[in-house]
Chains A and B, each alone.
Chain A
C-alpha cells in the first residue's frame, strides 16, 4: 500500500528532516508512527499523500509514484485527518462539509446525497449545524466524517485525538478501528499517546531525528524500552510495569491481563 524507498527530505541540506529511510506498509495494516517532536512523523504522513515531495528516494502510494502523480489524484482513495479540524472545515453546514470531498472528486449528485445521509447518521451529526460553532470534539468528528465519506482505502491520521476528551477520543478511534477490521482500510496514525498506540495500532514505526530506530508489532515494540527511551518516548504504563515484574509478565499489555497475571502469582503463593 505504502512504500518508502531510501527517502530523504529537508528544507535545506544543512538540516535534513528525514535521512534515507525505507519501509513498507501492507494493505489492511494499522501502523502508528511514534517519536519525539521533530522526529519526522508528520513529514512522513505528508510525503505519503504527495503534499510534500521527497528530496531523495521515492514514495509509492498504491503503486503510484507520488513525484509523478498530482496530490488531487492521490487523494482519491487516501483520506487525511489533520490534528486541527479548523484547517479542513470550510463549509457553512455540516452536510455541505461532508459532501465537500465527494464534490471535489467528481462524484454524482445522487451518490453524494446518499453517502452524505449515511455518514451523518453513522457519526450522529445534525446536517444543518454550523461547523465552526461546535465543540472541538464535534469539529474533529465532522472532519473525520468528511474524510470517511469518500470511502478511502488508506486513512492517514495526524495526531487525531489531541485536545479531545476521553469519550470523543474513544469514539473516533473505535470508528477507525472498525473501518480497519471490517473494511480492510489501511490506517497510518501519527501519535504521542502511547496508551492509544498500544490499544489500537497493530504495528509501530519508531522515529528519532529523521531515522527509523525500530519497526515491528506493537506488543514487541512496546516492550523495547531501550528503543523507546532512545526515541524520547514514554512507554505505556502497563507494559512498563509488566517489564519490571519480570519475564513471567512479558505478555501482559492490558489492565485485565495484568490483573490475571497478578492473581496467578498471588494464587501460586508468590510475592509481588
Chain B
C-alpha cells in the first residue's frame, strides 16, 4: 500500500477547501512544534489518528505513524546521547551515558517530529494535487507558475515513494537483506538506493519539464478553470479551531510551573 496516494472520499476532511486543508496541516504542525509537554505531544498524535479515522484513514494514519517512528527513533537516540541537562540517569564505569534532561528532550523531540509531520503526510490522502494547485491560484491568487511548482513538488512525493519501494524490491531480489531488524545495518543498506532514486528522479523531472513545455506551458496567461473552490462555514470553523489550538499551546507554555 502506498501511504501517500490520494484516497477518494466524501468525509468532512475531504470536503474542506484544499487551501484550508494545507493551512490546517501546517497550523496543526506549528501547534505541535510549539508544545513542550511530552504527554501533550502524544495526545497530538492520537488526536490526529482519530481525526483521520473520520475520513476512513485510521489504518493509513497508524501505518504512517509507524513509519515516522523510525525517524523519531533516530532523533531519540541522538538527543539521548548528546543532551546533557539534568541529573545522571545511567552511569557505567563513571561515565554518564544518559541524563534525565536528555531522556525528556529525546522523548519530546521524537514525538514532536511525528506529531508535526503526520498531518502533512495525511494531506496527500485527502487532497488531489490538481485541486490544491487550482485552489491556490483561485483563492490565494498565487501566480499559476508558482502554484504549479508547489503542487508538482507535492505530487512527486508519492511517485518517488513508489519508485523508492520498487528500487528496494529490485535490491531485495538481488539478495540484499532488508529484512534485518538492526536499524543501523538497515540504514547502511538503504544508502546505495539513493543513486538509482536520484537518477530516476532527475530523469522524471527532466521529462516532465519537457512535456510541459511541449504543451505550451510558457504560453499560458491567466489560468482559468471550470471548478470553483469557495470557502464554506466548515473551513472557517476548522481554521478557528486551529487558531485556538495554537493560542492555547502558547498560553500553556507561558504559564509558570
Q: In the bound complex, how far is the Cα of B172 from the Cα of A70, in angstroms?
A: 9
Contacts known (A86-B200, A87-B166, A90-B196); A70 close to B173, Cβ less than 8 A: no
A87 near B167 with CB under 8 A, answer: yes
Residues of A within 8 A of B176 (CB): 72, 75, 104
Which residues of B (47-101) have their CB < 8 Å from a CB of A? none
**Which residues of chain B from 156 to 171 have any CB-CB distance to chain A below 8 Å in the complex?**
163, 166-167, 169-171
The residues of B that contact A86 with a CB separation of less than 8 Å are: 196, 199-200, 203
Is A72's CB under 8 angstroms from B170's CB?
no
Closest residue of chain B to A133 (Cβ to Cβ) is B199
Contact B175 A82 (CB under 8 A): no
Q: Which A residues are in CB contact (< 8 Å) with B167?
A: 87, 90
Whether the Cβ atoms of B175 and A51 lie closer than 8 Å is no
User: Do A71 and B192 have beta carbons less than 8 Å apart?
Assistant: no
- Within the assembled complex, what's the spacing in Å between the Cα atoms of A105 and B173? 11
Determine which of B166, B169, B177 lies in contact with A104 in the assembled complex, contact meaning CB atoms within 8 Å.
Answer: B177
What 0/1 pattern do residues 164 to 206 of B give for CB contact below 8 A with A? 0011011111111111000000000000110110011001000
Task: Report chain A residues within 8 Å CB of B233.
Answer: none
B166, B173, B178: which contacts A49 (Cβ < 8 A)?
B173
Q: Tell me the smallest distance from the CB of B180 to a CB of chain A, in Å.
A: 9
**Residue in A46, A86, A90, A146 with the greatest tally of chain B CB atoms within 10 Å:** A90
Counting contact residues on chain B (CB < 8 A from A), the size range is 20 to 34
A-side interface residues, number (CB < 8 Å): 28
> For the complex, what is the distance from the CA of A75 to the CA of B170, rounded to whole Å?
11
Once the chains are docked, how many angstroms separate the CA of A264 from the CA of B203? 54
Query: Whole-angstrom distance between the alpha carbons of A48 and B166 in the complex?
Result: 16
Is the CB of B237 closer than 8 A to any CB of chain A?
A: no
Contact status A46-B169, CB under 8 Å: yes
Known A-B contacts A86-B199, A87-B196; the reply to A105 vs B171 at CB < 8 A is no
Q: Are B179 and A87 closer than 8 Å at their CB atoms?
A: no
> Given contacts A51-B169, A87-B170, is CB(A11)–CB(B175) below 8 Å?
no
Q: Please indicate the chain A residues that have their CB under 8 angstroms from the CB of B196 in the complex.
A: 86-90
**Which residue, A51, A72, A100, has most C-beta atoms of chain B within 10 A?**
A72
Task: List A residues 80-95 near B (Cβ within 8 Å).
Answer: 80, 82, 86-92
Q: Is A204 an interface position by the 8 A CB rule? A: no
A8 at the interface (CB under 8 A from B): no
The residue in chain B whose Cβ has the minimal distance to the Cβ of A103 is: B175
Interface flags for A119-153 (1: CB within 8 Å of B; 0: not) read 00000000000001000000000000011001000
CB nearest neighbor in B for A11: B1
In Å, the complex CA distance between A80 and B2 comes to 23
Contact residues in B for A150 (Cβ distance below 8 Å): 174-175
Please tell me if the beta carbons of A75 and B199 are within 8 angstroms of each other in the complex.
no
Q: How far is the CA of A104 from the CA of B169 in the complex (A)?
A: 14
B195 to A90, Cβ gap below 8 A?
Answer: yes
Say yes or no: A87 contacts B175, CB within 8 Å: no
Bound-state Cα–Cα, A70 to B177, Å: 8
Instruction: Contact check, B170 vs A104: say whether CB atoms are below 8 A apart.
Output: no
Q: Which residue of chain A lies nearest to B202 when distances are taken between CB atoms in the complex?
A: A132
- Neighbouring B residues of A27 by C-beta, 8 Å: none
Inter-subunit contact B1/A71 (CB<8 Å): no
A147 and B200 CA atoms in complex are apart in Å by: 20
Q: How far is the CA of A132 from the CA of B199 in the complex (A)?
A: 8
Pick the contact of B177: A46, A72, A92, A132 (CB < 8 A).
Answer: A72
Q: How far is the CB of A43 from chain B (nearest CB, A)?
A: 12
Q: Which residue from B166, B169, B171, B172 sits with its C-beta under 8 Å from A90?
A: B171
* Contacts from B to A (Cβ < 8 Å): 1, 163, 166-167, 169-179, 192-193, 195-196, 199-200, 203
**Which positions in A face B, CB cutoff 8 Å?**
11, 46, 49, 51, 70-72, 75-76, 78-80, 82, 86-92, 100-101, 104-105, 132, 146-147, 150
5 further interface pairs, Cβ-Cβ under 8 Å (given A11-B1, A71-B173, A76-B175): A70-B179, A82-B170, A86-B196, A86-B200, A101-B174
The 14 listed contacts between A and B (C-beta, < 8 Å) are: A46-B169, A51-B169, A70-B177, A70-B179, A72-B172, A75-B173, A80-B170, A80-B174, A87-B166, A87-B200, A88-B174, A90-B193, A92-B195, A132-B199
